[in-house]
């Protein structure tokens, strides 16, 4: 029988590296992407065209995009907060971009310096301009299972922001547990509220692993019908504007779970772990992936 497949969106080069304090060279960023591609990863968020004053680490994004391997079937995307970012992404040849809104008013202010409503207005022209050029747009909603400043977030608030992004033309909607505090019950309630209005097919789970719940949240989301997950090799990262938040679920952990549950990801776990080792050595840091640690010890 053909295995059902799950799409992994590797966000390590962006969500992972954006949070690093030490400067990371373009060579290292490209080296990471090359190894991810060699492992069979087909969707990679490789860059972020945000203000370099806000996130200095992402400053070399145009150069990264110019140098990542162009391979049929491999898709790259980049984060853009406004029209200025979109112009840079288009100039860099991006075929997909992502806008990012929040389900929390305070987080929206801290992360992108405007209200949720203002951000949605801003994104409308970003999405229109991108789509007019044939560029796909993904929409993120942050703080879907809690906000570092406001605490609990109403699932209906998440659904409302997700619908607004979808209505303006975002295809895939990625639901971010930015601070990684959510548990499966909360994830189910949030997905139910959002899927009721958008359908489950276009939703992606973006779970940070700060509290160790990400793999459980993926399993719960799979049961609800979600088939796209964002993850970060070696468990890199966090958001610089979400105090205390650590990395996304490690791609190694997500892939091990998915393969164990009978899903196909197209990713070679051994080669993926090599990509994780590469970036760990470059950063001088042990992996956060439990699976990568277990593989290294076996």
Other CB atoms within 10 Å distance of the CB of residue 5: 12
Minimum Å distance from CB 15 to Mg ion? Answer: 4
Minimum Å distance from CB 270 to Mg ion? Answer: 26
Whole-angstrom distance, CA of residue 88 vs CA of residue 64: 12
Kindly name the residue from 94, 143, 147, 239 that is annotated as catalytic. Answer: 239
Whole-angstrom distance, CA of residue 208 vs CA of residue 217: 10
- Per partner kind, with CB cut-offs from 5 to 8 A, the member of ligand HMG, Mg ion, none near residue 149 is none
- Is residue 170 among the annotated active site residues? no
109 interacts with ligand HMG by CB under 6 A:
no
Selected from 32, 50, 214, 272, the binder of ligand HMG by CB under 6 A is 50
Closest CA to 37 of 83, 89, 74, 87: 74
90 interacts with ligand HMG by CB under 6 A:
no
Closest CA to 16 of 97, 90, 79: 79
Whole-angstrom distance, CA of residue 139 vs CA of residue 97: 9
176 interacts with ligand HMG by CB under 6 A:
yes
What is the chain's alpha carbon radius of gyration, rounded to the nearest angstrom? 17
Selected from 123, 241, 256, 278, the binder of ligand HMG by CB under 6 A is 241
Minimum Å distance from CB 296 to Mg ion? Answer: 26
Contact positions with ligand HMG (CB under 6 A) in 110-129: 111-113
Minimum Å distance from CB 55 to ligand HMG? Answer: 4
Residue whose token pair is 């619908």: 163
Closest CA to 272 of 46, 32, 7: 32
Q: Which residues contact 254 (CB under 8 A, 6 or more apart)?
A: 8, 214, 215, 218, 229, 231
Q: How is residue 238 written in tokens?
A: 């966090």
Whole-angstrom distance, CA of residue 167 vs CA of residue 273: 38
Minimum Å distance from CB 73 to ligand HMG? Answer: 24
- Per partner kind, with CB cut-offs from 5 to 8 A, the member of Mg ion, ligand HMG, none near residue 6 is none
206 interacts with ligand HMG by CB under 6 A:
yes
- Per partner kind, with CB cut-offs from 5 to 8 A, the member of Mg ion, ligand HMG, none near residue 53 is ligand HMG
Question: By rule CB under 6 A, what count of residues binds ligand HMG?
Answer: 28
Contact, 168 vs 123, CB < 8 A?
A: yes
Task: Name the residues that contact ligand HMG, by CB under 6 A.
Answer: 15, 18, 48-55, 79, 81-82, 84-85, 88, 100, 111-113, 140, 142, 176, 178, 206, 208, 239, 241
Residues with active-site annotation: 239
């Amino acid at each position: 029988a053909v295995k059902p497949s799950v799409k992994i969106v590797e966000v390590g080069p962006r969500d992972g590296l954006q949070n690093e304090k030490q400067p990371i060279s373009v060579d290292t960023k490209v080296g990471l992407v090359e190894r991810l591609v060699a492992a069979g990863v087909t969707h990679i968020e490789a860059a972020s065209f945000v203000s370099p004053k806000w996130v200095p680490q992402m400053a070399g994004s145009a150069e990264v995009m110019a140098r990542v391997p162009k391979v049929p079937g491999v898709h790259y995307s980049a984060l853009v907060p406004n029209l200025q970012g979109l112009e840079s992404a288009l100039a860099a040849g991006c075929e997909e971009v992502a806008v990012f809104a929040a389900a929390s008013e305070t987080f929206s202010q801290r992360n992108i310096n405007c209200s949720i409503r203002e951000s949605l207005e801003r994104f409308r022209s970003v999405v229109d301009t991108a789509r007019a050029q044939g560029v796909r747009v993904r929409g993120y909603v942050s703080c879907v299972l809690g906000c570092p400043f406001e605490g609990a977030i109403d699932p209906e608030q998440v659904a409302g922001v997700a619908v607004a992004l979808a209505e303006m033309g975002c295809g895939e909607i990625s639901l971010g547990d930015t601070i990684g505090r959510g548990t499966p019950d909360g994830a189910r309630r949030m997905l139910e509220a959002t899927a009721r209005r958008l359908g489950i097919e276009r939703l992606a789970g973006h779970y940070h692993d700060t509290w160790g719940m990400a793999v459980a949240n993926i399993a719960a989301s799979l049961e609800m019908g979600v088939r796209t997950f964002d993850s970060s090799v070696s468990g890199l990262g966090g958001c610089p504007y979400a105090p205390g938040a650590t990395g996304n679920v490690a791609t190694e952990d997500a892939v091990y779970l998915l393969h164990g549950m009978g899903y196909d990801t197209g990713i070679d776990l051994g080669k993926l772990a090599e990509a994780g080792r590469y970036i760990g050595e470059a950063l001088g840091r042990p992996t956060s992936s439990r699976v990568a640690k277990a593989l290294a010890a076996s």
